[in-house]
């Protein structure tokens, strides 16, 4: 093999090399390798084949994916909370991707925020919009095979319908040789392609292998999270959790986000933060706010669990000559809406490859600006999470947030500024920059200041530390 290890094509778009002699556009007969059939890989394949059809370009796509999404438990699953925000459900629908009923495990209609100073249920801002809770695989270990259908399996099926071919192999290396990009698999299979799309997410060794070949590529930053599934049965879930996702604002260092998400017979728990470990989990499970969510105040044994990694820093660069990183392998939104970012990066990369070209310069001009937009928004996201951390630490601030939200929820038609901010933060429906700008509005600041004072006055329900069940009951219709 005449490979040029150390030069995977992650060079500056402005520096010229002999590889420029190779075709930098897709043509009839071009072959594309997509490594990974998570949402990014499958959506890329679907969009690319769709666009190729519209411009009468005859290309072929091989999707490499060793995982079988029909399996239950971790073997068939891409490990995530499975929340698809209402804005993404609608955007996918405009692309002709309608989530079938057997893929959507539950429509989430509200968030219930739990804090030590009380709880509040936040209804969906627009009554007709619902968040979808899905399973990435075919449900938890030992679940009933008929009850769940995989979201990732559904997207892969759409790509196959468009003509993509699935190769059930694990890719171990990608090398550039004089004529093409060569993809090597664990089963010794190897093949040449005109374009390689890396969509392996951050729970794979492949990007480390690429980073080992060249100093020009920095793989994405990642941190450990925790997910588990509780089997409670539909009836208990309906009575205790309702169609609500339960989120927690607790004074636990390193915990950025914790949620209980009802799905069919199960409830999924997700813990996101800075390297989730046993100590943090013990504190979480030991807190009364979490325990009281479960029947009898007792946390049952989980039936399935995993410690997946999440992307917290973009790959640099997320493209090279005839190579592009999409979804978590490239860039994603910090802690939220990873599936939405997979959709956006997949579409932008497919558009670039079909309508502009596949050189580093093409990706730098037409793909990188979208990734940079996500990365900049994540910087604002860090600021927003920083403020959230202050609220997490300061009890008086939690009282003010609780009071403001409860009052907004009690008054239909009021401008629900705090509720909207919290909703978009929990669901990932809006960019962090939008959320941040809304918190600078004088009406938001004025109302928050007033509620901080009123919520901490002697005699206020938040001040007395009463769980605001009366208020929550009042808000529940």
Ligand X SMILES: Cc1cc2nc3c(=O)[nH]c(=O)nc-3n(C[C@H](O)[C@H](O)[C@H](O)COP(=O)(O)OP(=O)(O)OC[C@H]3O[C@@H](n4cnc5c(N)ncnc54)[C@H](O)[C@@H]3O)c2cc1C
Residue 37 interacts with ligand X (CB under 6 A): yes or no: yes
> Near ligand X by CB under 6 A, which window of 52-60, 117-125, 331-339, 434-442?
331-339
Tokens at residue 374, please?
Answer: 């996500």
User: Binding mask 447-466 vs ligand X (x if CB under 6 A, - otherwise)?
Assistant: --------------------
Residue 175 interacts with ligand X (CB under 6 A): yes or no: no
Closest CA to 284 of 299, 296, 263: 299
State which of residues 137, 201, 264, 455 lies at the interface with ligand X (CB under 6 A).
201
Q: For the chain, what is the radius of gyration of the CA atoms?
A: 23
Residue 36 interacts with ligand X (CB under 6 A): yes or no: yes
> Near ligand X by CB under 6 A, which window of 105-113, 337-345, 377-385, 388-396?
337-345
State which of residues 9, 76, 81, 357 lies at the interface with ligand X (CB under 6 A).
81
> Near ligand X by CB under 6 A, which window of 25-33, 233-241, 330-338, 465-473?
330-338
Number of H helices, E strands in the chain: 15, 21
> Near ligand X by CB under 6 A, which window of 61-69, 104-112, 138-146, 230-238?
61-69
Q: Which of residues 308-327 bind ligand X (CB under 6 A)?
A: 308, 310, 327
* Location of structure tokens 């669990």: 305
- Please tell me the distance from the alpha carbon of residue 103 to that of residue 148, in angstroms, as a whole number: 7
- What are residue 271's phi and psi, to 5 degrees? -120, 120
Q: Give min distance, CB of 184 to ligand X, in A.
A: 10
Q: Give min distance, CB of 81 to ligand X, in A.
A: 3
For residues 303-322, b (16+ Cβ closer than 10 Å) or e, as one string?
ebeeebbbbbbbbbbbbbbb
User: Binding mask 222-251 vs ligand X (x if CB under 6 A, - otherwise)?
Assistant: ---x-x------------------------
> Near ligand X by CB under 6 A, which window of 62-70, 236-244, 354-362, 456-464?
62-70
State which of residues 48, 113, 196, 199 lies at the interface with ligand X (CB under 6 A).
199
Residue 9 interacts with ligand X (CB under 6 A): yes or no: no
Largest Cα separation within the chain, whole Å, is 78
Tokens at residue 32, please?
Answer: 């594309």
Interstrand relation of 195-198 and 165-167 (parallel, antiparallel or unpaired)? unpaired
- Please tell me the distance from the alpha carbon of residue 9 to that of residue 323, in angstroms, as a whole number: 8
- Please tell me the distance from the alpha carbon of residue 335 to that of residue 271, in angstroms, as a whole number: 10
State which of residues 200, 244, 419, 451 lies at the interface with ligand X (CB under 6 A).
200
- What are residue 140's phi and psi, to 5 degrees? -65, 165
State which of residues 328, 364, 377, 424 lies at the interface with ligand X (CB under 6 A).
328
Nearer to ligand X by Cβ, of 339 and 406: the residue is: 339
State which of residues 67, 176, 403, 417 lies at the interface with ligand X (CB under 6 A).
67
Q: At what angle do helices 338-355 and 86-94 cross, to 10 degrees?
A: 30
- Please tell me the distance from the alpha carbon of residue 389 to that of residue 249, in angstroms, as a whole number: 9
Tokens at residue 56, please?
Answer: 């009468």
Tokens at residue 388, please?
Answer: 């959230």
- Please tell me the distance from the alpha carbon of residue 238 to that of residue 215, in angstroms, as a whole number: 53
Q: Which of residues 265-294 bind ligand X (CB under 6 A)?
A: 270, 272
- Please tell me the distance from the alpha carbon of residue 328 to that of residue 202, in angstroms, as a whole number: 6
Tokens at residue 143, please?
Answer: 């679940």
Give the nearest residue (CB) to ligand X.
Answer: 338
Residue 41 interacts with ligand X (CB under 6 A): yes or no: yes
Residue 40 interacts with ligand X (CB under 6 A): yes or no: yes
Residue 143 interacts with ligand X (CB under 6 A): yes or no: no
Q: Give min distance, CB of 307 to ligand X, in A.
A: 9
Residue 132 interacts with ligand X (CB under 6 A): yes or no: no
Q: Which of residues 379-438 bind ligand X (CB under 6 A)?
A: none
Q: In Å, how far are 40, 81, 103, 336, 399 from 100, measured between CA atoms? A: 19, 18, 5, 23, 41
Binding site for ligand X (CB under 6 A): 35-41, 64-67, 78-83, 170-171, 199-201, 203-204, 206, 225, 227, 270, 272, 308, 310, 327-329, 332, 337-340, 342
């Amino acid at each position: 093999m005449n490979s040029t290890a150390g030069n995977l094509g992650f060079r500056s778009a402005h520096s010229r090399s002999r590889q420029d002699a190779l075709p930098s556009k897709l043509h009839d007969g071009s072959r594309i390798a997509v490594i990974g059939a998570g949402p990014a890989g499958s959506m890329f394949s679907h969009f690319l084949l769709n666009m190729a059809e519209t411009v009468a370009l005859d290309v072929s796509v091989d999707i490499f994916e060793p995982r079988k999404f029909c399996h239950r438990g971790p073997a068939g699953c891409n490990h995530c909370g499975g929340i698809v925000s209402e804005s993404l459900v609608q955007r996918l629908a405009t692309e002709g991707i309608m989530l079938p009923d057997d893929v959507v495990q539950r429509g989430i209609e509200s968030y219930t925020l739990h804090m030590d100073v009380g709880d509040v249920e936040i209804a969906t801002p627009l009554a007709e919009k619902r968040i979808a809770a899905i399973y990435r695989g075919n449900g938890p270990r030992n679940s009933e095979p008929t009850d769940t259908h995989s979201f990732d399996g559904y997207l892969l099926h759409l790509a196959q319908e468009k003509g993509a071919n699935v190769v059930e192999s694990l890719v171990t290396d990608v090398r550039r040789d004089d004529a093409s990009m060569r993809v090597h698999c664990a089963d010794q299979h190897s093949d040449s392609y005109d374009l390689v799309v890396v969509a392996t997410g951050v729970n794979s060794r492949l990007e480390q292998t690429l980073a080992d070949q060249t100093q020009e590529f920095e793989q994405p930053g990642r941190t450990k999270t925790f997910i588990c599934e509780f089997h409670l049965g539909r009836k208990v879930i309906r009575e205790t959790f309702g169609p609500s996702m339960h989120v927690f604002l607790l004074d636990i260092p390193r915990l950025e986000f914790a949620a209980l998400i009802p799905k069919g017979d199960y409830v999924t728990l997700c813990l996101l933060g800075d390297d989730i470990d046993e100590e943090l989990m013990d504190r979480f499970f030991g807190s009364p706010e979490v325990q009281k969510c479960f029947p009898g105040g007792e946390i049952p044994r989980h039936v399935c669990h995993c410690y997946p990694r999440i992307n917290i820093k973009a790959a640099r660069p997320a493209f090279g000559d005839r190579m592009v990183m999409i979804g978590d392998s490239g860039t994603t939104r910090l802690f939220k809406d990873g599936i939405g970012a997979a959709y956006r990066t997949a579409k932008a990369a497919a558009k670039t490859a079909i309508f502009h070209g596949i050189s580093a310069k093409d990706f730098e001009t037409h793909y990188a600006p979208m990734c940079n937009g996500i990365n900049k928004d994540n910087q604002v996201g860090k600021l927003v999470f920083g403020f959230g951390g202050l609220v997490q630490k300061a009890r008086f601030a939690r009282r003010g947030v609780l009071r403001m939200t409860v009052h907004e929820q009690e008054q239909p038609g009021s401008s629900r500024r705090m509720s909207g901010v919290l909703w978009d933060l929990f669901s990932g429906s809006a960019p962090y920059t939008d959320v941040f700008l809304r918190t600078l509005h004088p009406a938001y600041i004025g109302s928050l200041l007033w509620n901080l004072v009123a919520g901490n006055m002697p005699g206020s329900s938040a001040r007395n530390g009463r769980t605001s069940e009366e208020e929550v009951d009042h808000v529940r219709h």
